[in-house]
Every structure is written in structure tokens, then in C-alpha cells.
Structure 1
Amino acid sequence: MTEATQDRIRDTGYKDHFQPEYPNVAELEEVTRKLRDMTGIATPEEILTTKQQYAGVATGANGSWILVTGPCSEPISLQQPETTFVERYTRLLQIGKASSPTSPPLHALRACGQNAKPRSAECEMLPDGSIVPSYYGDLINGIDPSDRTPDPTRMVAGALQARDVNRALRDNGQQFVSTHEALLLPYEESFIVQGAQGREFLTSCTVPWIGKRTNEPDGIHVDMLKDIENPIGIKIGPGDKPEKIAELTQKLNPSCEPGKLLYILRFGVGNLYQAPEILQSIKDHSKGALILCDPMHGNTVKTLDGRKTREVPRIIDEIKAISKMCQELGLRLHGLHLEASGRDDRVECVDSVGQSPDHTAVVDPELNNNQLAGVLEETGECFV
């Protein structure tokens, strides 16, 4: 992590930047040195090609659309064979392709690095009354309460797994780009490299995104990504003011390069009244930007027994509503961002309002394969 970043994080609370506090600074520095010596999974050539393809989506030149699918929080296990990940991610890619056979989407996987999560609470209280750090994703700490101390060596394990799974998918003939939330600063900064003509590339993935909790224009995460060549996603949701769009565009894409920015709207059906102002601001201040709908996060509900779930009808309703709003403003909905497991044997989301899930999500509920296919079938006309 750069000294400037450390200075900005020092003496701030968790919710200012959503960064863990590592107890051993020397170990953290050693890990970041190792990461800088590793090769990221995205190449400058792939990044530039993807940006060109996304520009074609933004201008309508290639008639395609963008689909992002993958787990909420990707587990890290160097003991688990890559075939487990490959099977699930391959299934997601197959479902995406089958959803639109005449115009298959440009598919990005929330994979090979989606291991860090910002949490609404820095700590949690255990049944015995003790306080431990929350689970921040396998890139930072473990889900078991006894394994909650942030451990920087997990970043090396995460990078190795990302490399191996990415390679296995490519060897299996799968075509996709990788995407994840660029949350953990020491990890992401370690994979920023200089290419030809001094241009910067983030090689930890092809398309990083900035989360809803870290999307302030003057924030650390925006500052970290402001000079990279990669396409950049930005989550936008309830409470974000229309003026933020102009500020983010000026910081991340001042020349309004088509396909450079992906605004990923995550309002929830109860907050859709806030979306038209955001869409109007995108139209006015961020020409050439892509508009995606994340209908998952704003539609998370709790069952009577306190478990999280998401109701598929509300997911579909939000997609259709955002698409209609885009049309009314002379815009186009360019794609979807969905949390999906690639599995048939889990039911974390429910197919009707008020239903209880069969399984409890580790972090947030994910669509299973049947539900993913159903959502894509119901909303396919939104991207034509």
C-alpha cells in the first residue's frame, strides 16, 4: 500500500474506507511485495479489447449487451480442486449464452478475485457475548469466529487461486472477462502496472467496480482507479445524488470515452423513485456510459426467522422498471449484474413473495441455475 493511502486510512474508522486493520504491518508489507512480483490474471491487451467491445455496446455498433454473473463472495481454498469452480462458472456462462442465442451477451464473471466484502458492521457479537471482527470475505479473514483476525497472507492465497481458476477456465475453452469489487486497497494497488506509453492497467481483473459504500468522488477507491485504462463499474443506489454522476465522470472518464464507465444501478423496488434523476444525470453528464441493473442488493429481505433471502419476482420487476425508465429518457439498459451460484443444489433466493429459502446464504443470497435462467428469460426483451 502506498504511503499516501496509508496516511488517508490512518486514524479513520472502518466505515470511512472499509479497510481491515492488520495487526502485523511488517507482514502486510512483505505480502504486498510478493503480490507485486506476481502476474495478474488480466493483460493490457485483454483490457483494451474489452474496452473496445464495451464501446461498441455503448454506441450500439455491435448490437450486444453485458451480463455479469457469479458468487456474492468467492471462497478461497487451495485444497479445493479447480474443477469445482470451473464447473460452476462454466454453467453460468452456458446459461448466459443460451439466454440470447441470436445475440449472446458479453459475459463477465464475478470470479477469480471476488473475495473481499464491505460489511455494514465492523464487528459482531457472538452468542457468548464476545466481540470479533465481522467476516470480510476470504481475502481478509475466515468465516469461523476463531479465524476473524485479518491475515494478509490470505491475499497471496487469493491471487494464486484466481490465477489457477482463470487458467483452468481458459484451458477449458471458456470466453469471458473477470470482474470484482476493487475493495481491498493493498491487494488492488499491488496489481496496478504500467504498460506502453506510461498507461496504467489494473491486472487483478479486467473490469473492476467501485461499490456503493465506496463510491465517493473524493474517496480513496475512486482515486486509486482514476488513471487506469480498464473499464470501471460504479455501483449507484439509494441516497446517491444526481450531482455525483458528474463528479465521478470528471474524475474517472473526463473525456467521456464510450464504454469506459458502467453505472450499475442497485436501488430495490422500494427506492426506484430515485432512479430517474440518476438516469437523467447519466444522460446529461456521462455520455457514452453503460447502464447496468443490479436488482439483487436492493431487494434483500429477511424471513421471520431472521435469514436473508431475495424474491425473484421483485428482481424481475426492478429490471423491467429500470429498462422502461431508460426507454422513456431515450437511453438503453445495457446489461445485468446478478449474484448467482452456478449451482442446482442451493435455494437461497425464493420464487414467490413471502416464501422461505431452503438454504441460508453465507453472505448474501444467490440465484441458483434455474432461477438465473428464469430471470434472463423473463427480461430478455429489455436488452434488445
Structure 2
Amino acid sequence: MKIWNCKTWRDFPIQQHPVYENQEELLLVEQQLRELPPLVFAKESRSLQDLLALASKGKAFLLQGGDCAESFLHFNAVRIRDFFKVIIQMSAILTFAGSCPVIKVGRIAGQFAKPRTSEIETYNGIDFPSYRGDIINDMELDLEKRKPDAKRMLSAYHQSASTLNLLRAFAKGGLADLKEVHQWNLDFVKNNDFGKQYEKLADKITQTLGFMEACGINPQNTPLLKEVDFYTSHEALLLHYEESMVRKDSLSGGYYDCSAHMLWVGERTRAINEAHIEFLRGIKNPVGVKIGANITKDEILKICDILNPNNEAGRLSFIVRMGAKNIEKIFPKLLESLLKEGREIVWSCDPMHGNTIKANNGYKTRDFQSILSEVRSFFAIHKSYGSYAGGVHLEMTGDNVTECIGGSQEITESRLACNYNTQCDPRLNAVQSIELAFLIADLLKDRKID
């Protein structure tokens, strides 16, 4: 195999990638990005890989979630805070039930690019280049603004830096303190049945903390009670940006993509002889690969050979996105055949992308029951083969949106328009996210019994 460097992806065919008209500006932006500080550090990525290695053995659980695509326009501290609150709420629910560490990874501080089904979008008889995420072009229906603009990569970098700064403050500065467990419940969640269920859980945690404090264990002498490790991830889609964020680690000598702790490649861009897999091959971050209903055992093994040739635990995750109707037909035989190969894999479930539908009123949406069904099936299949459901991968928000139908709020197709704010794909709101966390908690509890 050809010797890798951060530019070798340019010698391969590439899908879902913009073509910039102004090449001089592109080169200037790439140079500026190379000179900026890294957003994350190599040691943090190695720590995440160690945790993911535990998840592959059923000794930890990966909770990965966040926006389908981050927005320049809607960027503010309150949205980040509310998202963080929901993630740590979900984490508390899962930890309490499963008695295992929960690895918190956000689709945040870099999730700005999106693959699209079509190159064009037609509105009122006019063809526009498809919106590909704020890092590439503008959502506004303007032919000039829909052209790829390299300067947007700098805006994405600076917003990511600000987001990370705030997340680190939340994770280490008191918001994650278990004594604040009641404060994590957002106001619009509290009166919901699952919000009330969470409050009961919070009461138990508070009582447990009181007992521990009486025994001399408190946040002052045990920082784990008031701090959490929070990691970031995004799809490594725009390789001009990712290449410019690669840094050589002074300790290990390895190359890390310092735009995020973990990167993944999507279903549309995971071809083994194309640019995205080639790029991920050489970076030392933990990496993920989305796999749908059409994947084969041979493809997975080839991906393993390329992305994890040394079979390192925690290095490679496969994020299964087959849909509720397909997973029980396809995944069992696939999993059974792969378990015999002895490959180190973290198996994660993306119950969102395989369950996308179009409502009668034209809105893209997802049925909450289908999401629940795919998660249940994912756990049941792993249990039947003595394997471990290592995590979930969700598109979700802390906002009170109405983008996915169903759930305890009984969101109907007619209510989708009430607060449909996504940049691209429909997300679970906070109530639906908490509801899903309680379901997964029951599944983890069952796994623990075995």
C-alpha cells in the first residue's frame, strides 16, 4: 500500500466534495488553517480510544449525538448549554442502569458538512446547487451564495474553537457536578412523564451522594463527582479542511486530525478505493464507518484491513444504519460471520438515518417508534450472538423542536411545522432523547444481568 501522508487522498476518486472556483483563495485558506492551533489534542484522542476499547467488550457504552449539521446563524451559548445538559442527563440515566461508564461524544464543534442525494435543488422552477452545510455554502436560495466558498472553513474553525471552549468549561467548571443533577432537567421536559421519571432518578442519585459524603467521599476529594470527559466528533467529509487540521504528535510521532477527537466516514463516501477512506487510513484518531443495508462481509473486512491493520481495540467503530425494517433481516447473519473473524470492532447503532420518511405535508421526518424498534433489534441481535451493543449514534438537540413524529409528546405530521428548525435532517428533541435513554437503560440493565 502506498505510503500515506495527509495529501495522498488527492490522488483518489472523491464523492460528495465541492469544487472551488477560486483556487488561489482555497490555497490561502488551507495555509491559514495549517498555522492555527489544533482544536483538540492527540492525548485526548488516545484516551477516547482506550474508552472505546472498553465499549467493544461491554465494559462501557458510547453515547454519541448532536446536530445533523451545525449552523453559523443559530450559534449561541444557550443552545450549546441545553445540548450539553441533555447529553449528561442521558448519561446519568444510562450509567445508573447499566453500572458501566458512559462515553460522551458530541456531534458538535465541527459537524458542518453534509452529503446530499442530489447535486441540485429545484425551487419555483430554478435549479440551485444543493446546500452542503455551512462550511461549504449558504442555505439561502441565492445562486451566488450557493457556490462553495473556501473562507467558510475559517468561520467553521473559529466557531468550533468557541464551542469547544464552552464545552470544556461546562465539563470541568461545575455544570456536570452530580450535585446539580436536578438542574440538568430542562424546563419543557419537567412536566413530561419521562421528565418526572428522571426527577425520581435524580432523587436516588442525590440520596446516594449524601451517603457517600457521610463516608468521606465528596466532590472536593473525588473530582469524578463534579467533572466529566466530553469528546467531539464529526463526519470527515470536507477533506480540504480535515487535511489542514492534521498535526504530528510530538510524543508518539503519529498524525492526528486535530479538528475532532473522533472522525467518521458516511455511507456514501466509504468506498475502499476512494479519497475519504484513504484520508482516514493515516490518521491515528478513533474512526467510524457508517454501514447500511447493502454492506457485505467482504467490504467490512477490507475496511478493517485498511483502517485498522493492527487490529487495535477502540480504533474502529462500525455505525449500523439499516432501518427498523431491514436490521433483523440483514444484520444477524452479517454479525455472526464477522464475529468469527476476531476483528476488534465497536458496534454502534444509528437508528436515525435508516428511518427517514417524507410526511404527507412534505416535511422530512422520522417516526420515533421506528427509532425505538431499531435500537431494540440492535441490542437483541448482539445478545443472541454473545456480542455487545457498544453504543448509539443520534441526531438530537436540546431544543424543543418538532421534527420527529411520535414519542410521549405525540408529535403528529400536522405539528411538524410548529418548530421545525433543522439545517438538514430531523432531530430528536430533548424529551424524545430522554425517553430513548430510558429504553436503552432497560436494555443495558438486561445486558448487565447476563
TM-score, normalised via structure 2 length: 0.79
Cα distance in 1, alignment partners of residues 63 and 171 from structure 2: 19
| Aligned residue runs from structure 1 range 246-257, under 5 A | 246-257=301-312
| Aligned residue runs from structure 1 range 1-384, under 5 A | 4-9=8-13, 16-60=14-58, 63-77=59-73, 80-81=75-76, 83-102=77-96, 103=99, 104-127=101-124, 129-146=125-142, 147-173=145-171, 175-195=229-249, 196-272=251-327, 273-285=329-341, 287-344=343-400, 346-351=401-406, 355-356=412-413, 357=416, 358-360=418-420, 361-383=422-444, 384=447
Residue by residue over 1:186-207, the C-alpha shift from the partner in whole angstroms, topping out at 9 and shown as x without a partner, is 0011111111343111111001
- The range that moved more, 193-202 or 248-257, is 193-202
Tell me the residue number matched to 2:195.
none
Contact 2:119–2:130 (CA<8 Å) still a contact in 1? yes
| Letter in structure 2 aligned against 1:20 | P
SS of 1:112's partner is: coil
Contact 1:89–1:109 (CA<8 Å) still a contact in 2? no
Residue by residue over 1:209-249, the C-alpha shift from the partner in whole angstroms, topping out at 9 and shown as x without a partner, is 11111111222111101122111111000211121110000
Residue by residue over 1:38-59, the C-alpha shift from the partner in whole angstroms, topping out at 9 and shown as x without a partner, is 1222101101111111112223
| Letter in structure 2 aligned against 1:159 | Y
Cα distance in 2, alignment partners of residues 288 and 4 from structure 1: 26
Cα distance in 1, alignment partners of residues 27 and 70 from structure 2: 24
Tell me the residue number matched to 1:13.
none
Residue by residue over 1:40-86, the C-alpha shift from the partner in whole angstroms, topping out at 9 and shown as x without a partner, is 221011011111111122234xx320000101011124x944x1343
Cα distance change of structure 1 residues 3 and 199 upon mapping to structure 2, 3 Å threshold: closer
| Letter in structure 2 aligned against 1:112 | A
Residue by residue over 1:249-282, the C-alpha shift from the partner in whole angstroms, topping out at 9 and shown as x without a partner, is 0001112111111110000012221212332343
Cα distance in 2, alignment partners of residues 213 and 179 from structure 1: 18
Cα distance change of structure 1 residues 332 and 2 upon mapping to structure 2, 3 Å threshold: closer
- Pick the structure with greater CA Rg: 2
Cα distance in 1, alignment partners of residues 381 and 294 from structure 2: 18
Cα distance in 1, alignment partners of residues 8 and 44 from structure 2: 30
Residue by residue over 1:279-327, the C-alpha shift from the partner in whole angstroms, topping out at 9 and shown as x without a partner, is 2343233522110000000001111122111111110110010111111
| Letter in structure 2 aligned against 1:154 | R
- The range that moved more, 170-179 or 132-141, is 170-179
SS of 1:254's partner is: coil
Contact 2:270–2:276 (CA<8 Å) still a contact in 1? yes
Cα distance in 2, alignment partners of residues 150 and 281 from structure 1: 43
Contact 2:7–2:243 (CA<8 Å) still a contact in 1? no
| Letter in structure 2 aligned against 1:189 | E
SS of 1:235's partner is: strand
Cα distance change of structure 1 residues 80 and 296 upon mapping to structure 2, 3 Å threshold: closer
> How far is the alpha carbon of 1:2 from its aligned partner?
6.8
| Letter in structure 1 aligned against 2:107 | R
Contact 1:99–1:377 (CA<8 Å) still a contact in 2? yes
Contact 1:140–1:150 (CA<8 Å) still a contact in 2? yes
Cα distance change of structure 1 residues 29 and 281 upon mapping to structure 2, 3 Å threshold: farther
Tell me the residue number matched to 2:200.
none
Contact 1:179–1:205 (CA<8 Å) still a contact in 2? yes
Identity %: 30
Contact 1:292–1:334 (CA<8 Å) still a contact in 2? yes
Cα distance change of structure 1 residues 8 and 260 upon mapping to structure 2, 3 Å threshold: closer
Q: CA RMSD in A?
A: 2.0
Contact 1:40–1:205 (CA<8 Å) still a contact in 2? no
| Letter in structure 1 aligned against 2:424 | V
SS of 1:155's partner is: helix
Tell me the residue number matched to 1:12.
none
Gaps of 5+ in 2: 173-228
Cα distance in 2, alignment partners of residues 283 and 299 from structure 1: 26
Cα distance change of structure 1 residues 75 and 124 upon mapping to structure 2, 3 Å threshold: same
| Letter in structure 1 aligned against 2:271 | E
| Letter in structure 2 aligned against 1:96 | M
SS of 1:131's partner is: strand
Q: Which has the higher contact order (CA 8 A, sep 6+)?
A: 2
Gaps of 5+ in 1: 10-15
TM-score, normalised via structure 1 length: 0.92
| Letter in structure 2 aligned against 1:325 | I
| Letter in structure 2 aligned against 1:372 | S
Cα distance in 2, alignment partners of residues 116 and 192 from structure 1: 18
